Amino acid sequence: MALLLKNHLKLAKAAIKENRTRSFLTCLGIAIGVASISLILSLTGSISQLIHDEIGEIGSDLLVVRPSSTKDSVTSLVEELTSANSFQKSNLTVSDVKAISEVEHITAVAPIAVSTNTVSSEKNTFSSVTVLGTNLDFIKIEPLSLHYGAFLTESNHENSVVLGHTLSLALFNTINSTVGKTITIMGEKFMVVGVLDEVEKSISFDNVDFDNALIVDIDSLDKITGSTQIQQINIKAENTDSLSQISSNIERTLTEHKQGDQNFSVAYGEDITHPASSLFVVISGMLTTVAAISLVVGGIGVMNIMLVSVAERTHEIGVRKAVGASSRNILMQFLFEALILSILGGFFGLVLGYTLAFLLSIITPFSPYVSLEIIAISFLTTLAIGIIFGIYPAIKAASRNPIDSLKHYR
Amino acid sequence: MSENILIELKGLTKRYGYGDTESFALKDFDLTIKRGEFIMIMGPSGCGKTTLLNIIGLLDRATKGEYVLNGEDVAGISARRQAKLRAKKIGFVFQNFNLIEDLPIIENVALPLVYAGYSKTIRLKNASTALKRFHLEEREYYFPYQLSGGQQQRVAIARAIVSDPEIILADEPTGNLDSRASHIVMEELKAIHEEGNTIIMVTHNPSLTSYATRVINMLDGQIDTDIKTVADANLPQPISVKIKKKKQQQEGFISIDTDEDKKTKKRKKSRRRQ
């Protein structure tokens, strides 16, 4: 058997070499699919890495509560894709935050409610600015520092606002003398009390770009928007030792508080790096789908070429069968050819994908994320494509009648 | 002498089509072939010659009937087993040579050994030996289209004998050749036969029957006349052919050399020397 496998491999190599252009174009189809998949996986990986690093900065004593379930990534992906805007579906409320704050061994609880609104200063007006509603505990949890002024405090949290670094520049063309000025959010006037330091990271586990956001008290936000949706509740524990205990305590308290509604999840440690943002998941999901479609198209290309190859080599099949090849031998011969075509394509695709990822890393904050996992996924995908799209032509070749095939001429 | 019987066909029937279109290529066909015979099958087109050859060569199956090859009933065996037997026990020679155009001739010759499961070294060595026999050793890495028809047919014959088969089946091997090339090919087949090989050949050319030990005329799927041109006793007895057959020996396919066999061998050798 091993001898035959070697022979199949040799034959496949010869057949691919014989039709160089044809094989190259077929490989290209697979390569494009694999390139896009490895590019997407590499970028997703790099984003997770960024968030992971951030968690490291914050410290490992962080827990987060998110609406719906993050346990099963496939189900949650489907949920995210099927709901038009999951911001609207969040079932976490301000009273939940209060309930959580009563759990033992935690030091701070801060809700994250994100919405986009039109914001204007006396000079400029911007539509769709990220407005983050939270409470005073927020600054205890986040590793943010203030460039100027102060964060929201007990005495001034009503109708006060802390601006992101870039947003401050955009609204007032300055950072330093912004404090004390007023901005208008949906017709309500807010006073600027502080400006954040530049963060230079567009991605965080809160799914907020702090440079371009402004932070207000959640009650104030509730007043102007009518209904506030809390996407996430950040919790800081006293220490890192009993996170699982605290996590289950929070879960129990919250379930009790919400009368049995369990559409939320508590995550800590590595689990937080799971991309929380629905938008992020939706976009990467869509890209993956598109890549998968292109991979299927590439697979159809392999099938097409293999069918041509089988038709061209009918006579050869007849001869091989006459001198003792079994149907299985013929099947393996053609399956190997399809497999080598797709694996070759997969290899080129991986190289292409990473080249693109490196090029992209020059102009974006991403750093290409190379892992054995991605290589293994690409390899297995191409293997599967090769088998799925190679089996039909191979079966067709194997089922040829030797007597009829021998009469067949090119 | 029952161990000398190589092929036994009993009541072999091959039907094509059903109902109104039903026709029989073979009808209750009985035939016994002994080791070492050189059989020519003649007859008009459509009398079932090629069908018979395909069934004997395990490329086709009879609709009903018995087929015993070398003591083994092979009528109902699996397609896989059929393929295995084709690789090891049967050599085909076709009218149109049927070489694979993309392979150099040495690999064409070695093809049956691939499926019989030999390693590459043995394959190439045996193929080379077989080609040398037909004086084609200098063309080992030529491609089939670079050879003349006669040379191609000799390559095909080399391929047929490379795995040292029990039986060689030739379907009009001279049909596409001119008379000179035909003559060379027939001389080669004769030489192979004289080494003890069994050959069954289909032909349209009556002048070739002088090479045969037995001539069968077929008509409408049945035997019309069956003439033995040489007395049985004078048939060349099987001897082991030069090509390496280690594997086959283990499986016990080799004929047992009786004392009598050895004597004939000696006799034949001395005859050749003279």
Q: For residue range B239-249, what is the model confidence (pLDDT) as tens digits?
A: 444 444 444 44
Backbone angles phi, psi at B163, to 5 degrees: -95, 15
What is the arithmetic mean of pLDDT over B39-68? 91
Whole-number pLDDT of residue B269? 52
Q: How far is B146 from chain A (nearest CA, A)?
A: 17
Put simply, the chain B residues between 90 and 109 with a CB less than 8 A from any chain A CB are 90, 92, 94, 98-102
Verify whether the Cβ–Cβ distance B59 to A14 is below 8 Å. no
Q: Cβ contacts (< 8 Å) between A318 and chain B: which residues?
A: 98
User: Is the per-residue pLDDT at B16 higher than 70?
Assistant: yes
Q: Burial letters for A171-203: b for 16+ Cβ neighbours within 10 Å, e otherwise?
A: bbeebeebbebebebeeeebebbbbbeebeeeb
> Most A CBs within 10 Å: which of B50, B84, B98, B105, as the mutation test of the A interface?
B98
Q: Cβ contacts (< 8 Å) between B101 and chain A: which residues?
A: 316, 410
What is the arithmetic mean of pLDDT over A373-396? 92
CB A34 within 8 A of CB A384: no
| Residue found by looking up tokens 């799927």 in the block | B221
Q: Which of A201, A67, A98 is nearest to A142 (CA)?
A: A201
Tens digits of per-residue pLDDT, A246-269?
A: 888 888 888 888 777 777 888 877
Spatial separation of the C-alpha atoms in residues B25 and B219, rounded to whole Å: 10
| Residue found by looking up tokens 């080599």 in the block | A313
For residue A58, count other CB atoms closer than 10 A to its CB: 17
Spatial separation of the C-alpha atoms in residues A327 and A324, rounded to whole Å: 10
Verify whether the Cβ–Cβ distance B86 to A324 is below 8 Å. yes
Q: Kindly give, in sequence order, each residue whose CB lies less than 8 Å from that of residue A327, ignoring residues fewer than 6 positions away.
A: A321, A398, A399, B79, B80, B83
What is the arithmetic mean of pLDDT over A311-336? 93
For chain A, give the percent of residues with pLDDT over 90: 24
Verify whether the Cβ–Cβ distance A325 to B59 is below 8 Å. no
Q: Which spans in A313-365 are helix H? A: 314-322, 327-363
A324 vs B54, B87, B94: nearest CB: B87
User: Is the per-residue pLDDT at A181 higher than 90?
Assistant: no
Q: Which of B194, B188, B160 is nearest to B174 (CA)?
A: B188
Q: Cβ contacts (< 8 Å) between A324 and chain B: which residues?
A: 83-84, 86-88, 90, 111-112, 115-116, 163
A322 vs B92, B102, B116: nearest CB: B92
Q: Cβ contacts (< 8 Å) between B98 and chain A: which residues?
A: 315, 318-319, 322, 406
| Residue found by looking up tokens 């159809």 in the block | A300
Q: How far is A409 from chain B (nearest CA, A)?
A: 10
Whole-number pLDDT of residue A130? 85
> Most B CBs within 10 Å: which of A6, A13, A323, A407, as the mutation test of the B interface?
A323
User: Is the per-residue pLDDT at B151 higher than 80?
Assistant: yes
The sheet with strand B5-16 has its strands ordered as B23-34, B5-16, B64-69, B72-73
CB A276 within 8 A of CB A80: no
Nearest C-alpha in A relative to B97: A319
**Secondary structure (3-state) at A145:** coil
Phi-psi region of A71 (alpha: psi -120 to 50; beta: other; left: phi over 0): alpha
What is the arithmetic mean of pLDDT over A176-199? 83
Spatial separation of the C-alpha atoms in residues A264 and A244, rounded to whole Å: 16
User: How confident is residue B153, by pLDDT bands cut at 50, 70 and 90?
Assistant: very high
User: How confident is residue A86, by pLDDT bands cut at 50, 70 and 90?
Assistant: very low
Write out the two tokens for A132.
């983050």
Nearest C-alpha in B relative to A18: B102
What is the arithmetic mean of pLDDT over B92-106? 92
Q: Burial letters for A141-170: b for 16+ Cβ neighbours within 10 Å, e otherwise?
A: bbebeebbbebbeeeebebbbbbbbbbbbb
Tens digits of per-residue pLDDT, B192-206?
A: 999 989 999 999 888
User: How confident is residue A373, by pLDDT bands cut at 50, 70 and 90?
Assistant: confident
User: How confident is residue A79, by pLDDT bands cut at 50, 70 and 90?
Assistant: low
Whole-number pLDDT of residue A233? 86
Whether the CB of B112 is below 8 Å from some CB of chain A: the reply is: yes
Whole-number pLDDT of residue A334? 94
Burial of B235 (0-12, 13-18, 19+ CB in 10 A): buried
Rounded to a whole number, what is the distance in angstroms from the first to the last CA of chain A? 31
A323 vs B101, B120, B159: nearest CB: B159
Spatial separation of the C-alpha atoms in residues B199 and B211, rounded to whole Å: 11
Put simply, the chain B residues between 5 and 24 with a CB less than 8 A from any chain A CB are none
Whole-number pLDDT of residue A222? 81
Spatial separation of the C-alpha atoms in residues A212 and A87, rounded to whole Å: 19
User: Is the per-residue pLDDT at A398 higher than 80?
Assistant: yes
A324 vs B94, B100, B116: nearest CB: B116
Q: How far is A321 from chain B (nearest CA, A)?
A: 7
Q: Cβ contacts (< 8 Å) between A403 and chain B: which residues?
A: 54, 59-60
Q: Which of B178, B182, B179, B156 is nearest to B169 (CA)?
A: B156
For chain B, give the percent of residues with pLDDT over 70: 82
User: Is the per-residue pLDDT at B62 higher than 80?
Assistant: yes
Whole-number pLDDT of residue A165? 84
Verify whether the Cβ–Cβ distance B98 to A4 is below 8 Å. no
Q: Which of B15, B36, B34, B37 is nearest to B26 (CA)?
A: B15
Report CA torsion sign: A23, A25, A31, A33: negative
The sheet with strand B214-219 has its strands ordered as B90-93, B167-171, B198-202, B38-42, B214-219, B222-228
User: Is the per-residue pLDDT at B258 higher than 60?
Assistant: no
Nearest C-alpha in B relative to A324: B87
Q: How far is B175 from chain A (nearest CA, A)?
A: 15
Spatial separation of the C-alpha atoms in residues A163 and A129, rounded to whole Å: 11
Q: Please, which residues bridge with residue B42 across strands?
A: B217
User: Is the per-residue pLDDT at A52 higher than 90?
Assistant: no
User: How confident is residue B92, by pLDDT bands cut at 50, 70 and 90?
Assistant: very high
CATH number for the domain formed by residue range(s) B36-59+78-273 = 3.40.50.300
CB A149 within 8 A of CB A162: yes
Whole-number pLDDT of residue A124? 82
Spatial separation of the C-alpha atoms in residues A123 and A113, rounded to whole Å: 27
Whole-number pLDDT of residue B264? 52
Whole-number pLDDT of residue A173? 81
Q: Give the global pTM.
A: 0.68
Question: Crossing angle for the helix pair A243-257 and A94-101, nearest 10 degrees?
Answer: 130
Q: What was the ipTM of the complex prediction?
A: 0.81
| More confident of the two residues B85 and B244 | B85
- Please give the mean pLDDT across all residues of chain B: 84
Nearest C-alpha in A relative to B94: A406
Backbone angles phi, psi at A148, to 5 degrees: -155, 145
> Structural domain boundaries of chain B?
36-59+78-273
Verify whether the Cβ–Cβ distance A316 to B102 is below 8 Å. yes
Whole-number pLDDT of residue A82? 56
Question: Crossing angle for the helix pair A2-18 and B105-116, nearest 10 degrees?
Answer: 150
User: Is the per-residue pLDDT at A108 higher than 60?
Assistant: yes
Q: Which amino acid is at A169?
A: L
**Secondary structure (3-state) at A201:** coil
Whether the CB of B84 is below 8 Å from some CB of chain A: the reply is: yes
Q: How far is A16 from chain B (nearest CA, A)?
A: 12
Whole-number pLDDT of residue A88? 45
Verify whether the Cβ–Cβ distance B98 to A14 is below 8 Å. no
Q: Which of B32, B187, B57, B34 is nearest to B112 (CA)?
A: B57
For residue B142, count other CB atoms closer than 10 A to its CB: 15
